[in-house]
Structure 1
Amino acid sequence: MTTYLTAKKAIVTILLSFVFFQVLAQQAGLHPYTPSAAEMVNAYQLSTKLDTVLRNIPTNNDLIPLWKKDGSAFWYKKNLPNKTWEYYYVDALTGKRKAAFDSEKLAQNIEKVTGKKQNPLKLQFAELYFADQGNTAKLKIQDKWYELNLNDYSLADTKDTTIYRYNAKRPLQQSRSRWQRNRESRKSPDGKNEILIKGGNIFVVDLATKAETQLSTDGNADKPYGEFAWSPDSKNIVAYKIDPKEIKKVHYVLSSVPGTTRGELKSREYAQPGDDFTAYQPYVFNVAAKTAIKVDADPIDFFGAPELHWRDNNSRYYTYEKVDRGHQRFRVIEVDVLTGKTKNIIDEKTKTFIYERRIYTHYLPKTNEILWTSEQDGWQHLYLVNGTTGKQKLITKGNWVVRDIDSIDVVKRQVWFRACGMNASEDPYFIHYYRIGFDGKGLVNLTPEKGNHNLSFSPDRKYYIDTYSQVNVPPVSELRLTASTKKVSEIEHGQTDIYLATGVKLPEVFVAKGRDGITDIWGIVCFPSKMDPNKTYPVIENIYAGPHDSFVPKSFLPASEMQSIAELGFIVVQIDGMGTANRSKVFHDVCWKNIADAGFPDRILWMKAMAVKYPNADITRVGIYGTSAGGQSSTGALLFHPEFYKAAVSACGCHDNRIDKQWWNEQWMGYPVGPHYGEQSNITNAAKLQGNLFLIVGEADENVPPESTYRLADALIKANKDFDILSIPGMGHSDGGIYGRRRKRDFFVKHLLHAEPPNPNVLVQ
C-alpha cells in the first residue's frame, strides 16, 4: 500500500506540475505552435536546406598533423566549405604557418603531367611528404610517384618512394583488449622443442631427434588440452584442459535478396545472458621431469585462456587476470610453476559491478610492478601495485575520473593519461590530458584551456597539438611544447560567424539537479532557428542511456540530427542521467540490475527545470527517440513514465536483456539471470503501453537480434495495443537510415505537433 500511495502521489505531483507549466505559459501569453499543412511542407524544405548548408561547413574539430621524421615541421589538410580543402605547412620551432604550396600552380602542373583536370581546392594525394625545409615534396597521385620542386613547381617521376609514416593520433601505449587471449607458440623459446596436440593430449617433440614425449594422458576429443604457452626458460608449458561449450545460434531471414525468389536464412553464433561458456583449467607441465601439476585455481569460465605475464628474468612465476562471471570480482593471480600454488596480487570485490572494460593494467616486469585502474575509492583512479606483495599506492586521487591511459614512461616513471572532472568550474565530462609521476607527484595539465580536448604528439614527443572546443564554441588548435606546456603558436581558430549567418541557433548547455537534489545533470538543448518567442514547442529527447559511456556531445556541434529535427518545430534535448559512465561510482551504480531506470528520474527533473528557464518548451508534449539501448529506453519511457512521455520512436531496441548479447547485459544486469531481467523487460511490460509508439527494426540486425523487436510487437498485439512498426529489408543495426529518419520525423509531427507531414506519395506539380 505504501508503494502504491507513493507512486500515486508522484503521478499527481507530475500532473499538477503540467498544469502549472500550462498556466505559466498562458500567463506569459504563449500559445502552442500548430503549423498548417503548407507550413509543414515549408518547414521540411527549410530543415533539409539548412542541414545541407551546415554540413557543408566543416568544423575542423580534429586537426590531423603529418610530421617530418625529425619533428621539425608538420603539415595538415584544412577542410573548407562545400567539401573543398587546402594544405598548410607549420615550422614547429617558430610555430609559423604558411600555405604548403600554391594550389593553382600545382594543379596546373599536375594537369600537364597527368593529363587530368585538377581542382586547386580538391587536390588529392595518395601520399604527401615534405623534405628539406619544405622546398621539395614527394607526391603519390593514384599509383604513380613524383618529386615536386616547390621553387618552380616542376614535377619529375621518381623511384624514391621512401617516406616516413607516423600516426600522430596513435598513443604510444596501445590499448589492448581486456580479454586479450594467450598467444600460442608451438616452438620453445630456445628453439629445441615443439608442442604437439594429438588425441586431445599434449606432446613435446624434440626438434633434433623428432622424438615425441607425452605429457598428458587424460585428454580426449571431448575435453582436450590446448591454449598452451612456454615459460621463458623453455622448461615448462602452461596449458589448459578445456571443457568446450557450443555457442548457441540466432537466425534471421533476408527477405529481398536480388535474383532470388526465396528468403535466405542466415545463422550465427551469439551468446546470450545465462548461456554456458567454455571452461579452461590451467596446468603446468615440466618437460624434463614429464610431470603435470594442476594449478590451484578455479577454471576460467568467462571468455578464453588469458594472456600470461612473467617476471623479468624469472620463469618460476607468472600472473594472469580473471574477472569472475557476474563482474563483481577482479583478480590478478600469481602462479608458482614449481608447485601450482597461487596467490592473489590484486583482488577487488564489489557489491554492484566492476566495469571490466575500463580496467587498465600495465605490467612492469623489470621492477615487478603493475599499473592498474580501479573505482574502489568511488572514482576511477590509477594505482601502482607491488607485483610480489600486492601492496597498492594511489597515484591519482580526487572527485574526478581517469578516462584512459595515453602512455607509460618507464624511465621517468610517469603516466600520461586522459581525465575529466578535475576542473570544478567546467563541464565534468570535458576531457583533459595530464602526466603524473608513479609516486603521485608532479601532476601537469597539458591542456589548460576550458573545453573538450583532443591531443596528438610529434614523433619525438617534443611538441603536441591541442585541439579543443565546446558544443557551441568552435575549435582552437594550438602547438605547444611538451616539457613546459608553453604555447608555441595558435594554428587554427574557428569562428561562429559562418554558422550563425545561416540562421541556425547553436546548441545551449543546460545543467539541473538530479533525483538526489545534489548531483548536477548535464545536457544540451537545440532550438528551431525560426522559433517564435510567442509560441510553445513540443520537446523531443534523443536518448541513449547505455551504462558503458556518456553520450551528450561535448565538441563543437553546429549540425546534427537533433538540430535538423528542431527545425520542424521542436525543442530537442540530450541528457546524461544517472546510470551512465564517466562520473562517480555511485552515479554509475544506479544502472546495476536496473537498466530500465535509464536515468529517467533525472531526465524528467532536468526537462522540468529546462522549461522554467526556457518557457517556449512545452513539456506537456514530450517525445523521445533512440537506437539500440536507446531503442529500449525510448519504449521504456512510454511503459514506465507515461505521465511524462507521450510519443516514442524506438529503433532496433534491446527490449529484453535476456535476448541481447551476453557480455554487455551480464555486465550491468548481473549473473545469474534472475527475475529482475523479466521484470524490467519491455516485452513483459508491453500491456502498460500508453502514448504513441513507433518501432523500427532491420531484418538483418547482427547486433541486437531482430526478434527482440518482433517479440515486443507480438506482446503488444496480444495486449490489444495500437502501435506502428517498420521492418526494413536487408538493413542491419540502424536507426532505419534515411527512410527511417524521415518516418521518425513524420511520426513526431503527427503526434506532438498534431500536424500533417508532407506526403511523399503525392506528386508535387
Structure 2
Amino acid sequence: MNIFKSLAFLVFFVTTLSSAQNKDITLEEIWDGTFKAVGLDALHSMNNGQQYSVLNHENKASKIDVYDYKTLSKVNTLVNSRDISAIDSLSNYTFSEDETKVLLATKVESIFRRSTLGQFYVYDTKTTSTTLISEEKIQEPTFSPDGNKVAYGLNNNLFIKDLTSGKTQQITLDGEKNKIINGITDWVYEEEFGFVRAFEWNAEGNKIAFIRFDETNVPEFSMDVYGQQLYQTQTVFKYPKAGETNSEVSLHIFDLAKNNTQEVKLNRTYSDFYIPRIKWSNDANVLSAQYINRHQNELDLWVINAETLSGDLVLAETDKAYIDVTSNLTFLKDNSFIWTSEKDGWNHIYHYDKTGKLINQVTSGDWEVTNYYGYNQKTKRIFYQSTEDGSINRSIYSIGLNGKKKQRLTKSTGTNSASFSADFTYFINTFSSATNPPEYTLNNSKTGNLVKSIKDNDKLSQKLSQYKISDKEFSTISINGNDLNMWTIKPANFDETKTYPLFMYQYSGPGSQQVANRWNGANDYWYQHLAQQGYIVVCIDGRGTGFKGADFKKVTQNELGKYEVEDQIQAAKQLGKLAYIDEHNIGIWGWSYGGFMSSNALFKGNDTFSMAIAVAPVTSWRYYDSIYTERYMTTPQENASGYDENSPINHVDKLKGDFLLIHGTGDDNVHVQNTMRMVDALIQADKQFEWMIYPDNNHSIKGGNTRLHLYKKMTNFIHDHLGADRDMKKVSKQEDVKIKE
C-alpha cells in the first residue's frame, strides 16, 4: 500500500473520529427520542418468588412475558395482544392475588394527572378466555381477593362485576358529575394526596370501604377548549382554591352479603377535614383511616370495626407546620403496624402495637427514609431506600424490625431503587448516576450481591460518546448560613480566563429536589445544549427543598417565595463574583413552582438577574388549590400578608430585565388565569415583556411538535437576552465564593 495513501487515510480517520466525538446536541434530538434510555415496563414479582413479569412491546403488539430470576431467561409469554382480537395493545396489567387472572388495560385516555378512563378485560390464564368488564370506559378496576369479582368506578358511581355469573351490580346510586363522587377522588385529592382509587376490598372480599365526595358547594372552574371546530367547548370542573369550600368527605362500607352501605361515624367531631388514606388490616373486619385537619398539622389514625362501625384513635400526630401523609402503613400478622414519620425531625420508620403504643423507632439519624419497600415476616427484616450516603444519593438498606443489624445492600453511589421478589429473596435494582445511564441488575436480598445483569444502556453511552458532553459537577455553596446543594454544567471547552453568561434553573417547592445524582432527563440534555452554546448552567436547591431534615424544609412555612427567592438571588450574586461569570448576564428559569420563583427572582432581584423565563407559573397563591397551598400557607383569610407579599404579581413594578411568560390554556392545575392576571398587571405597570400561549395544552405543554417548539422559543430568548454568542472577555476578577466540591 502506498505510504502517502496510508497517511492520508490515517489523517482522515483521526479527523473523522475527532469530529464524531464533538457533535453538538440538537433540540430536535432531545425531543425525538434520540437519547431515550431503555427500561423495564410494568415489572411484577410473581407469587412464587422465583419469577417476574414485564410488559414488552414489539411491532405494535404487547406481551406479558414471564422471566426466571435465577437465569433471567424467558419462561413463557403469558398474554399476547395478537391472540386477542379485541385488543390492539396493552398499556398496563394487574394480576389477581392467586395470579390465575390478569386485568388488561387498553385504549386508556387521561383525565387529569393521574386519573384515566380505559377499556379493561379479564384474561383467565387457565381457560385463556377474555372477558370485557364494561362496554363503557371505566376507572380503577380492582380484583377482589379471590379474583372472582372486579370493583370499578363509572360515572361517579361504584360497580361490582361478578366474573363467575357475569352479572354487574351498581352499589352506589347518587353519583353525579360535579356533585357527588363515590370511590374515586375529586380533582384536588388526586393532585395533592396523590391517589385516584378511593375504595378498598377487605381481606375476605365481602366488604368494600370507600370515600364519598360531596363537591356540590365547591366552586367551579371552567376552561375553554378551542379544538378544531367552529365553536369552542368548555371543560367545567370543581376546583377549590385556597380558602374556598372543599368537598365534604365521608367514609362508607358496603357489605356484599347484606347488600347495604353504612356510613362510618367516629366518636369525634371533625368540622373541616380530609381523609387522605384508607386501608384494611389483615383482619377482614378492621379498617384503618387517616383523618387530617384542614391546616394539615394534626393527623389521626383510626382503627374501625367494620361490623359495629365503632372506631378507636390509635395514633395522633401534630406538627407546628404540617404533616406529610404517609402511604407506608403496613399491618403485620398480629395487627401491629409499621409507620413512617418525621416527628423526630427526619423521616424514619416506626413500629407500633395494634393499640398505637410505640414498640420502637426502627431507623434514626440525620438522614431520610425516602422509600419503604416492605417487611419480610420470615426474617423479620424491613427493606427501605434512604439518603444515608448523602442527600443527593439514594441507597437500599435492610434492617431488623428491632432496629438492629442494619445492612447496606447496594454498592454504587448514585440513585438506587429496588423492586423485591414476593418472598424477598431477590430484588431488581435500578441504578443510575449523573455519569451512568440506568442499569438493571438482579441482586440477592440478604447480601445485596449481584446475581446477574438484566439490562443496561451501553448503546446509549456509546451514542453519547460521539457528543460534546460536559460533566455535571456537584458541590455545595454557602448561602444565608446554609450549605446548599448545587450542580454546575460548564462548556466542554471551558476557559477560566474568559467570562460566561450564567443561566440558573430551580424548582424550589417544599420538599422537592432537583440537585440529585441521577441520570439525565430531557432538560439535562437541554442544559448540555446550552453549555455547548457557551453558557454555564447552575441549579441550587435552596431552603424549603427536601431531604435535609424537617427544619430545613419547613422554614418557608407561611411565607412561600420569601426564603427560597432570597437564596436564589444571593446565590446569583455570589456566583457573579466568580472570575469566569459575567455578573451582568445572569438569567433564571423554572416551571410551575419554578415559574413562580423565576418571576419573583427577576422582579425582587432586579439588580442581579437580567432575564427570566416562567413556564406555567403560579403568580399568586390565591389562585391555587386549597390542599397544597393551605398546607404551607394556611388560608388567605388567616395569612393575607403571606400570600400577597411574596407573590410575583404584586412586584411587577420592579421589572427591569427581560421576561418571557409561557402557559397552556388547558392547564387544569395552574390555571392560565395566573398568567392572564400577571399580563394585565405588567401592562398596567407599563412593563414590556414577551409571552407565549399554547392552545389547549395542559400543565405539561407537550404533544406533537409542542415541546420542541417550546424549547426553541426559550432557547432563542436566552440567546437574545443573555448573549452567549458575543466574544468572551478576558477578566481578572477575584474569586471569593464558598463552593465545596
TM-score by length of 1: 0.66
Structural RMSD (CA): 4.8
In the alignment, which of 679, 703, 709 is matched to residue 645 of structure 2?
679
1:664-702 CA distances to partner (integer Å, 9 max, x unpaired)?
211222246421112222222222223111111111211
Shift, 1:400, TM fit: 0.6
In the alignment, which of 316, 319, 339 is matched to residue 372 of structure 1?
339
**1:214-225 counterparts in 2 under 5 A?**
none
Tell me the distance in 1 between the aligned counterparts of 2:434 and 2:566.
25
Shift, 1:632, TM fit: 0.9
In the other structure, the counterpart of 2:654 is: 688
Tell me the distance in 2 between the aligned counterparts of 1:62 and 1:244.
39
In the alignment, which of 564, 571, 577 is matched to residue 542 of structure 2?
577
Tell me the distance in 1 between the aligned counterparts of 2:586 and 2:674.
25
In the other structure, the counterpart of 1:252 is: 223
Shift, 1:241, TM fit: 11
Q: 1:130 to 1:63 in 2, by over 3 A?
A: closer
In the alignment, which of 351, 354, 364 is matched to residue 384 of structure 1?
351
In the other structure, the counterpart of 1:718 is: 684
Instruction: Work out whether 1:747 is the aligned partner of 2:712.
Output: no
Q: Which amino acid aligns with 2:293?
A: D
Instruction: Work out whether 1:328 is the aligned partner of 2:297.
Output: yes
**1:230-241 counterparts in 2 under 5 A?**
none
- Give the match's secondary structure for 1:630: helix
Kept in 2, the 8 Å contact 1:320–1:333? The answer is: yes
Q: 1:57 to 1:398 in 2, by over 3 A?
A: same
- Give the match's secondary structure for 2:499: strand
Q: Work out which structure has the larger RCO, using CA pairs closer than 8 Å and 6 or more positions apart in sequence.
A: 1
User: What is the percentage of aligned positions where both structures have the same residue?
Assistant: 22
- Give the match's secondary structure for 2:448: coil
In the alignment, which of 399, 417, 426 is matched to residue 454 of structure 1?
417
Shift, 1:310, TM fit: 6.5
Tell me the distance in 2 between the aligned counterparts of 1:276 and 1:577.
33
Shift, 1:325, TM fit: 0.7
- Give the match's secondary structure for 2:375: strand
Kept in 1, the 8 Å contact 2:55–2:63? The answer is: no
Tell me the distance in 1 between the aligned counterparts of 2:649 and 2:507.
19
Shift, 1:363, TM fit: 3.0
Kept in 1, the 8 Å contact 2:621–2:647? The answer is: yes
1:212-246 CA distances to partner (integer Å, 9 max, x unpaired)?
xxxxxxxxxxx999999999999999999998642
Q: Which amino acid aligns with 1:271?
A: P
395-404 vs 529-538, greater mean Cα deviation: 529-538
- Give the match's secondary structure for 2:492: coil
**1:346-745 counterparts in 2 under 5 A?**
346-356=315-325, 358=326, 360-364=328-332, 366-388=333-355, 390-391=357-358, 393-420=360-387, 422-423=388-389, 427-458=390-421, 460-475=423-438, 477-489=440-452, 499-516=464-481, 519-557=482-520, 560-597=525-562, 599-607=564-572, 615-671=579-635, 673=637, 674-675=639-640, 676-734=642-700, 737-745=707-715
Kept in 2, the 8 Å contact 1:404–1:417? The answer is: yes
Tell me the distance in 1 between the aligned counterparts of 2:277 and 2:294.
14
Q: Which amino acid aligns with 2:675?
A: T
Tell me the distance in 1 between the aligned counterparts of 2:212 and 2:436.
58
Q: Which amino acid aligns with 2:699?
A: H
Kept in 2, the 8 Å contact 1:542–1:625? The answer is: yes
Shift, 1:335, TM fit: 6.0
1:427-451 CA distances to partner (integer Å, 9 max, x unpaired)?
4221111222221112121113222
Q: 1:231 to 1:299 in 2, by over 3 A?
A: farther
- Give the match's secondary structure for 1:528: coil
Q: Mind listing any 5+ residue stretches in structure 1 that lack a counterpart? A: 1-44, 79-84, 86-121, 146-161, 168-176, 178-182, 186-222, 757-765
Q: Which amino acid aligns with 1:592?
A: Q
Q: 1:587 to 1:439 in 2, by over 3 A?
A: same
Tell me the distance in 1 between the aligned counterparts of 2:74 and 2:589.
54
- Give the match's secondary structure for 2:649: coil
In the alignment, which of 16, 21, 34 is matched to residue 56 of structure 1?
34
- Give the match's secondary structure for 2:26: helix
- Give the match's secondary structure for 2:696: coil
Kept in 1, the 8 Å contact 2:510–2:554? The answer is: no
Kept in 2, the 8 Å contact 1:521–1:606? The answer is: no
1:183-227 CA distances to partner (integer Å, 9 max, x unpaired)?
9x9xxxxxxxxxxxxxxxxxxxxxxxxxxxxxxxxxxxxx99999
Look at both structures and tell me which one has the larger radius of gyration over its CA atoms. 1
Tell me the distance in 1 between the aligned counterparts of 2:563 and 2:287.
41
- Give the match's secondary structure for 1:521: strand
726-735 vs 657-666, greater mean Cα deviation: 726-735
Q: Which amino acid aligns with 2:331?
A: Y
Shift, 1:142, TM fit: 6.8
Tell me the distance in 2 between the aligned counterparts of 1:737 and 1:468.
28
Q: 1:544 to 1:242 in 2, by over 3 A?
A: closer
Shift, 1:728, TM fit: 2.0
In the other structure, the counterpart of 2:117 is: none
Q: 1:572 to 1:719 in 2, by over 3 A?
A: same
Q: Which amino acid aligns with 1:373?
A: T
Shift, 1:479, TM fit: 3.3
In the other structure, the counterpart of 2:82 is: 143
Tell me the distance in 1 between the aligned counterparts of 2:560 and 2:717.
26
Tell me the distance in 2 between the aligned counterparts of 1:305 and 1:46.
47
Shift, 1:271, TM fit: 1.3
Kept in 2, the 8 Å contact 1:394–1:440? The answer is: yes
Q: Which amino acid aligns with 2:716?
A: D
In the other structure, the counterpart of 2:62 is: 126
Q: Which amino acid aligns with 1:745?
A: T
Tell me the distance in 2 between the aligned counterparts of 1:239 and 1:739.
44
Shift, 1:131, TM fit: 8.7
Shift, 1:522, TM fit: 1.5
Kept in 2, the 8 Å contact 1:225–1:241? The answer is: yes
**Count of matched residue pairs:** 589
Kept in 2, the 8 Å contact 1:539–1:572? The answer is: yes
- Give the match's secondary structure for 2:679: helix
- Give the match's secondary structure for 1:713: helix
Shift, 1:478, TM fit: 3.9
Q: Mind listing any 5+ residue stretches in structure 2 that lack a counterpart? A: 1-22, 85-98, 105-113, 115-139, 143-178, 184-198, 727-741
Tell me the distance in 1 between the aligned counterparts of 2:47 and 2:291.
41
In the other structure, the counterpart of 1:18 is: none
Shift, 1:320, TM fit: 2.9
1:485-526 CA distances to partner (integer Å, 9 max, x unpaired)?
22335566767665343222232222222322xx43222222
In the alignment, which of 243, 267, 270 is matched to residue 274 of structure 1?
243
Tell me the distance in 2 between the aligned counterparts of 1:701 and 1:753.
32
Q: 1:308 to 1:696 in 2, by over 3 A?
A: closer
700-709 vs 688-697, greater mean Cα deviation: 688-697
Shift, 1:649, TM fit: 0.8
Tell me the distance in 2 between the aligned counterparts of 1:305 and 1:468.
31
- Give the match's secondary structure for 1:600: helix
Tell me the distance in 1 between the aligned counterparts of 2:277 and 2:447.
40
Tell me the distance in 2 between the aligned counterparts of 1:343 and 1:51.
58
In the other structure, the counterpart of 1:41 is: none
Kept in 1, the 8 Å contact 2:274–2:291? The answer is: no
Tell me the distance in 2 between the aligned counterparts of 1:241 and 1:253.
29
Kept in 1, the 8 Å contact 2:222–2:235? The answer is: yes
